[in-house]
Amino acid sequence: MIDKQPSCDDPIEPELLPVAVALQRMQQQVEPITDSIDVPLRDSLHHVLATDIISPIQVPAYTNSAMDGYAINSADLPVADTEVSLKVLDTAWAGKPVDAVLKRGEAVRIMTGGMMPKGTDTVVIQEHVQVDDDHILIDGTTSAGRNVRQAGEDINRGDLVLAAGTLVNPAELGLIASLGIDTVAVKRRLKVAFFSTGDELRALETHAGKDLGPGEIFDSNRHTLFALLSRLGVELIDYGVVQDTEQATSEAIERATREADLVITSGGVSAGQADFVSKAIAKLGELTFWKLAMRPGRPLACGIVNGCRFFGLPGNPVAVMVTFYEFVQPTIRAMMGCTTAEPQLFSVKAAQSIRKVPGRIEYQRGVVEVNSSGEQTVRTTGKQGAGRLSSMCLANCLIVLSAECDGVSPGDLVQVRPFFGLV
C-alpha cells in the first residue's frame, strides 16, 4: 500500500495552521513605518495620516438655516391652533447675511446655509407659511429652535478631528477641506515589489495576442496584484515573470528586497519540485512557511530578507486574491501605521445548501441578492476551483465558512465579506 503524504486533498491535516493564529503572528511582527511627508490634500487619498488633525475653526462657522424658509424669533410662535402674521424685512442668502436686527413681529426670508440674523432663533420652512405680499402667516406647529444649525455644533476650535493613523477616504478628505486645511502630513508611501514565478507563464508585455505554446499560460497574477495593490496607495515596482530556477528566483528576491519595503510573489511555494521561492527565502533570510487551514490558499511563505517583508502567495489565481485580502492587505495597512478597522463580515441567509467538510476555512465565491420575498440571501457562483478567476468576477462577496463548519443548509446564516465598500 502507498504511504500517502499529507496533501490539500485531505479534509483534515493535523499540522495545518488556523488562519486566525497565522494572522495574529503576522500582525505581531509588523513594524509600522515612521517616515512622513507633507502632501497637497488631494494626494492624501488612500494614505494614512501621520499627525492628528486639530480643527483651527468651529464648524459650522456661524449659526445658519438648515432649510429654505423664514427666520423668526421663537417668542413670536403662536400657541397651537392659532396663527400670527409677521413682516418680512429682507432675504438672507447663503454667503449674503442681512444686517438687520429683528424685532418682535418681524421675519427674514432665509435660504439653506444662510446666516441667522440677529434676533432670530428658529426657521419655519417655506412649505409651512402662507405668503401675503410682504407678510407671512405662520401657525404654532414649528417648535422653537427648529431647522437651525448652531455654530460649532459639529466641531469646535481645537477639537481632535482625525487621529494620526486614520486612513484618508473621501469623507476624511472632505472633512479636512472643510477646516480650510490644504496640506497634510501622511506616512510615506510603502514600496511594494512583486513578480510572478513559473516557466509556463508568458508575460503580456511580450506575448499579448500571440499564440501560446503547449503547456503555456498568460501571466495573470501580476495584473491582479497590480490592481489589488493600486487601491492601497502604495508605490509599485513590477519585476515581471521569473523563471523556475533557484538562481533566478534568488536573484529576483535579493534585488527586490533591497529596493522595497515589501515583496510579493505568486506561485512556486508548494512542495513541488519547481517550487523555489521558499528555498530561496530560507537561504537569503528568515522563512516562515505555513500550511494554512484554508481553502483556497493552503501554502503561504512569509519571511524577512534584507530587512524587507516577503509574501510568497500560492500560484492559483483565486488563491492569490483570497490570501491577499486575508494576509497581505492587513499587513500593508499595519505597515502604513493604519488604525482604521478592516471591513466587517456580515451574516446572510444561505439560499442553497453548500457542501463543506470540517478542517479548514473555506472562501467560496458568492452572490448576495434579494430574493422574490424581498429577503437578502447568498448563493455560490457554482464550481469553486482555485484556478477559476471568472468565479471572482461572477461574485459580489466571499462566503467565509469557518473551519468547524460541516456544511450549510438553505436558510442557515453564513458569513460574507462583500467586495464593494461604499467609501
Where do contacts with ligand AMP occur on this chain (CB under 6 A)?
Answer: 196, 198, 200-201, 217, 219-222, 266-270, 272, 314-317, 387
Task: Name the binder of 142 from ligand AMP, Mg ion, none, CB < 5-8 A by kind.
Answer: none
Task: Name the binder of 316 from ligand AMP, Mg ion, none, CB < 5-8 A by kind.
Answer: ligand AMP
Task: Name the binder of 216 from Mg ion, ligand AMP, none, CB < 5-8 A by kind.
Answer: none
Q: Which residue is nearest to ligand AMP (CB)?
A: 315
Task: Name the binder of 201 from ligand AMP, Mg ion, none, CB < 5-8 A by kind.
Answer: ligand AMP
Task: Name the binder of 314 from Mg ion, ligand AMP, none, CB < 5-8 A by kind.
Answer: ligand AMP
CB 76 within 8 A of CB 136: no
Interior angle at CA 197, CA 249 and CA 398, nearest 5: 135
CB 37 within 8 A of CB 188: yes
List, as own/partner pairs, every contact residues 374-377 make where C-beta atoms lie below 8 angstroms and the sequence separation is at least 24, other chains included. 375/349, 376/348, 376/349, 377/348, 377/349, 377/350, 377/351
Task: Name the binder of 266 from ligand AMP, Mg ion, none, CB < 5-8 A by kind.
Answer: ligand AMP
Torsion sign (Cα): 55, 56, 58, 59 = negative
Helices of type H across 85-218:
170-178, 204-207
CA Rg value for the chain: 30
In the bound state with Mg ion, the residue whose beta carbon lies nearer, of 142 and 270, is 270
In the bound state with ligand AMP, the residue whose beta carbon lies nearer, of 64 and 288, is 288
Minimum CB separation of residue 222 from ligand AMP in Å reads 6
d(CA 300, CA 288): 9
d(CA 124, CA 117): 14
Task: Name the binder of 366 from ligand AMP, Mg ion, none, CB < 5-8 A by kind.
Answer: none
d(CA 152, CA 380): 49
CB 203 within 8 A of CB 240: yes
In the bound state with ligand AMP, the residue whose beta carbon lies nearer, of 98 and 264, is 264
Minimum CB separation of residue 272 from Mg ion in Å reads 7
Scored b (16 or more CB within 10 A) or e, 299-315 reads bbbbbbbbebbbbbbbb
Determine whether 85 is exposed, middle or buried from the number of CB atoms within 10 Å of its CB (0-12, 13-18, 19+): middle
- Cell representation of residue 150: 448652531
In the bound state with ligand AMP, the residue whose beta carbon lies nearer, of 257 and 270, is 270
Minimum CB separation of residue 319 from ligand AMP in Å reads 8
Minimum CB separation of residue 316 from Mg ion in Å reads 10
122: CB partners within 8 A, 6+ apart? 71, 72, 73, 74, 77, 142, 143, 144, 145, 146, 147, 148
In the bound state with Mg ion, the residue whose beta carbon lies nearer, of 88 and 386, is 386
Look at residues 262, 250, 279 and name the one whose alpha carbon lies nearest to residue 225. Answer: 262
Torsion sign (Cα): 381, 356, 368, 317 = negative
Task: Name the binder of 220 from Mg ion, ligand AMP, none, CB < 5-8 A by kind.
Answer: ligand AMP
Minimum CB separation of residue 365 from ligand AMP in Å reads 17
User: Measured in Å, how far apart are the chain's first and last C-alpha atoms?
Assistant: 57
In the bound state with ligand AMP, the residue whose beta carbon lies nearer, of 128 and 207, is 207
Minimum CB separation of residue 356 from ligand AMP in Å reads 23
d(CA 334, CA 30): 7
Minimum CB separation of residue 197 from Mg ion in Å reads 6
Task: Name the binder of 303 from Mg ion, ligand AMP, none, CB < 5-8 A by kind.
Answer: none
Minimum CB separation of residue 199 from Mg ion in Å reads 7
In the bound state with ligand AMP, the residue whose beta carbon lies nearer, of 196 and 377, is 196
In the bound state with Mg ion, the residue whose beta carbon lies nearer, of 65 and 197, is 197
In the bound state with ligand AMP, the residue whose beta carbon lies nearer, of 67 and 264, is 264
> What is the distance, to the nearest Å, from the Cα of residue 35 to the centroid of all Cα atoms in its chain?
23
- Enumerate binding residues for Mg ion (CB under 5 A): 198, 267-268, 315
Minimum CB separation of residue 251 from Mg ion in Å reads 17
277 strand-pairing partners:
none
Minimum CB separation of residue 196 from Mg ion in Å reads 9
In the bound state with Mg ion, the residue whose beta carbon lies nearer, of 165 and 267, is 267
Task: Name the binder of 196 from Mg ion, ligand AMP, none, CB < 5-8 A by kind.
Answer: ligand AMP
